[in-house]
Structure 1
Amino acid sequence: MEPEEHGGRPDGQVFGGRPTVLGHRGLGRGPGENTRETLRQAVAVGLRWVETDVRRTADDELVVGHFPTWQDGSFVAHLSLDQARELGACTLAEYVGDLPAGIGVNLDVKSCLEDALRPPEATTAGLLAPVAEDLASRRPVLATSFDPAALLGLRAAAPGLFLGLLTWVSFPLRKAVPAAVHLGVDVLAAHWTSFGPNEVDHAPVHAAPKESIAVAHEAGLEVLVWCPGVERARELLQAGADAVVVDDVPRVLPSLRGLAD
């Protein structure tokens, strides 16, 4: 029987039908995050996918970095690449150039305030589109963003690219799942606190994680959970989540052996 499809893509295609662990910012959040050294360490401990953050400089170069500023407070989008390099910047091309064949990369597209002043093709997502499309011809690639417009721009410019909607801490799944489906993306990337009662969403009743994930699957989405601890990651994988993005990879990964790789 042919697999069910959503947006022309078979279910399970992004992560290969196997529960997957992704290293947050390479080896995990903290010292050395989003650096080439910790990326190499992440691959060495056995990860087959890593997650990293992508930003643009003032002169339209793509660099790796989570925050909109460097440690000295300078905004990435206000600096040239040469200036950013003086503060330790690594380009996306340099970063992914260290990845062995077959390792997947989740590109978290970080729109900046100044993207509002640019046409779509000159925004962070617009600059990333041809780069991500080329990278996807050589390895598994998923582009995710909290910015739905970035995802729409990527879909238009790179229609074959796998895309995922990131939703913020405790964002209700009853809204996130239909939003991702009707946005036309392949993956819902929700924070682990969205899968049950929390301090932000005061609805009196939440669907069980297994039920929410089943609805997402039926609608054609894969489900990625970002930054759960070990026990919560195990519970959500057992409930059917397709992937988890984790911090402290050396500690968490061995604890999930048998459930995900």
Structure 2
Amino acid sequence: MRRFAFLDAPAPLAFAHRGGAAEGDENTAEAFARAVALGYRYVETDVHATTDGVPVVFHDSSLLRLTGTDGRIGALSWPDLRTVRIGGAAAIPRLDEVLDAWPTIRFNIDVKAEAGAEPTVAAVRRAGANERVLLASFSDRRLARLRALAGPEVATSMGPAWVARLRLASLAGVRVSPPPSVAAAQVPVRQGPVTIVDRRFVTTAHRSGLQVHVWTVDDPDEMNRLLDLGVDGIMTDRLDVLRNVYRARHIWPGE
């Protein structure tokens, strides 16, 4: 496997997706604290940037679903956004606040828009968190920008184009050589009717020096099936379910 400090824990890794989105207060300090209290050491989260360049932890571009407030994060300044509440209670945290609050936790950061790339990398550097983050995106162009800004020592995931190459390589029985900072293929089990994660995909990723992290899996039977295939990490909204599956297999961290 490619060596990154981000991955310096025994696989398979357990990721709290948005801190545990099933609880309803996703991507908040309260969600992250709850995940850490349950024993999670890897947290998946999302970042947008405000108009004044502050990276904030939030999934949607719109505030409406989680706050009931109309507006887009990219059109608001941090002073405007800091008064908004999720579910009427939880504040929207800044990325630097989250990195500082949990200095031993690994954060898998999905940068959701172009404007968030530079502020995210700057916040990671200021926090001295280069070795405990992985930068992700659903945009190959955005990932290229993140890699250029962060340098090869900061772990990144594969974008859609490289995932497609890896899938085709698995069918052909050949390896791939993605950019040096790529540590993992982070993928759903399937994309529409197309299966992505099967034994050939996992084997090819491993032969290429990459881990395979699968999102977002909430069913215990599916978790067990994926673990039997040899995946290196699972992201879930149901923190209790994944913890129970790992405990039953005697692979829960620290136990």
TM-score after normalising by structure 1: 0.78
- In structure 2, the residue matched to 1:247 is 237
- How many residues in Structure 1 have an aligned counterpart in Structure 2? 234
Shift of 1:211: 1.9
SS for the counterpart of 2:96 is helix
- In structure 1, the residue matched to 2:101 is 98
SS for the counterpart of 1:182 is coil
What residue ranges of structure 2 are gaps of 5+ in the alignment?
86-91
Cα distance in 2 between the residues matched to 1:171 and 1:138: 27
Shift of 1:18: 2.1
- Opposite residue 222 of structure 1, the aligned amino acid is Q
**Matching of residues 1-261 of structure 1 within 5 Å:** 9-10=2-3, 14-71=7-64, 72-88=69-85, 89-99=92-102, 101-111=103-113, 115=114, 123-135=115-127, 137=129, 140-159=132-151, 160-165=153-158, 167=160, 174-175=167-168, 181-184=177-180, 185-194=182-191, 199-201=192-194, 209-228=198-217, 229-257=219-247, 258-261=250-253
CA deviation string 1:79-124 (max 9, x = no partner): 001111122332111223321x42211111111xxx4xxxxxxx31
- Opposite residue 189 of structure 1, the aligned amino acid is Q
- In structure 2, the residue matched to 1:120 is none
What residue ranges of structure 1 are gaps of 5+ in the alignment?
116-122
8 Å Cα contact 1:216/1:222 also seen in 2:
yes
CA deviation string 1:240-260 (max 9, x = no partner): 111111111023312222245
CA deviation string 1:46-86 (max 9, x = no partner): 00111111110111111010100112230100000111112
Cα distance in 1 between the residues matched to 2:6 and 2:29: 27
Cα distance in 1 between the residues matched to 2:175 and 2:59: 25
Q: Please, what is the CA RMSD of the aligned residues?
A: 2.9
CA deviation string 1:219-251 (max 9, x = no partner): 111111011122212211221111111111023
CA deviation string 1:160-204 (max 9, x = no partner): 100012559x9796259799843552211001225xxxx533xxx
8 Å Cα contact 2:49/2:55 also seen in 1:
yes
Cα distance in 2 between the residues matched to 1:193 and 1:209: 9
Cα distance in 1 between the residues matched to 2:26 and 2:80: 20
